[in-house]
């Protein structure tokens, strides 16, 4: 759904139901190319939509052996995409234009139940973990 940034009034659906593989949308963000990227927990994938029309562009990342119950996503300053994968307690990095897997972003012991991710003004990455803590990882 789209809403007015001025008064919050509904502007209608941006991505039409049934027009893409979307099965359980969670997090969303606009990418450096202006398109909308949506992480989908139902299909363990990230989908890309035209940022002006909402038309489905492609499956950007996943489903793959990495994503398992993904929750949120954020673009880094190098235009690569980080995706939180809750069930396997990890954050994965994907190449920002192709969606190719780059690496597991966090070390093996640093997080449990990755739920949210954000990039701070200094470039550090903040990862919220369910049920109750926040981790910072440098780039």
The DSSP secondary-structure symbol of 22 reads: -
> Is 139 a residue whose pLDDT tops 50?
no
> Is 136 a residue whose pLDDT tops 90?
no
Coil/strand/helix, residue 108:
coil
pTM summary value = 0.87
> Is 69 a residue whose pLDDT tops 70?
yes
Q: Which of these, 89, 77, 76, lies nearest to 131 by C-alpha position?
A: 89
- CATH number of residue 75's parent domain: 2.120.10.30
Tell me, yes or no, whether 63 lies in a domain: yes
Q: CB neighbours of 9 closer than 8 A, spacing ≥ 6?
A: 3
Reported as a pLDDT band with limits 50, 70 and 90, residue 17 is confident
Give residue 110's pLDDT: 62
Percent with pLDDT over 90 in the chain:
49
> Is 126 a residue whose pLDDT tops 50?
yes
Tell me, yes or no, whether 58 lies in a domain: yes
Give residue 73's pLDDT: 94
Q: Give residue-wise pLDDT tens across range 78-90.
A: 999 999 888 888 8
Tell me, yes or no, whether 119 lies in a domain: yes
CA distances from 132 to 45, 49, 110, 112, 113 (A): 25, 33, 14, 10, 10
> Is 68 a residue whose pLDDT tops 60?
yes
Tell me, yes or no, whether 5 lies in a domain: no
Q: Which of these, 95, 1, 11, 89, lies nearest to 46 by C-alpha position?
A: 95
Tell me, yes or no, whether 110 lies in a domain: yes
Give residue 58's pLDDT: 95
User: How many domains is the chain built from?
Assistant: 1
Q: Give residue-wise pLDDT tens across range 102-119.
A: 998 877 556 677 778 889
CA distances from 47 to 1, 24, 34, 42, 109 (A): 16, 11, 14, 12, 29
Percent with pLDDT over 70 in the chain:
88
d(CA 50, CA 40): 16
């Amino acid at each position: 759904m789209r809403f007015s940034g001025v008064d919050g009034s509904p502007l209608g659906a941006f991505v039409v139901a049934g027009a893409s593989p979307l099965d359980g949308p969670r997090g969303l963000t606009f990418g450096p190319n202006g398109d909308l990227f949506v992480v989908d927990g139902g299909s363990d994938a990230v989908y890309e939509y035209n940022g002006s029309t909402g038309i489905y562009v492609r499956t950007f990342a996943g489903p793959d052996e990495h994503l398992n119950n993904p929750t949120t996503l954020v673009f880094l300053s190098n235009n690569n995409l980080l995706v939180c994968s809750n069930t396997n307690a990890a954050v994965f990095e994907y190449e920002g234009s192709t969606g190719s897997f780059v690496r597991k972003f966090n070390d093996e012991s640093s997080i449990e139940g990755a739920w949210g991710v954000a990039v701070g003004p200094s470039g550090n990455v903040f990862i919220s973990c369910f049920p109750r803590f926040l981790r910072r990882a440098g780039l």
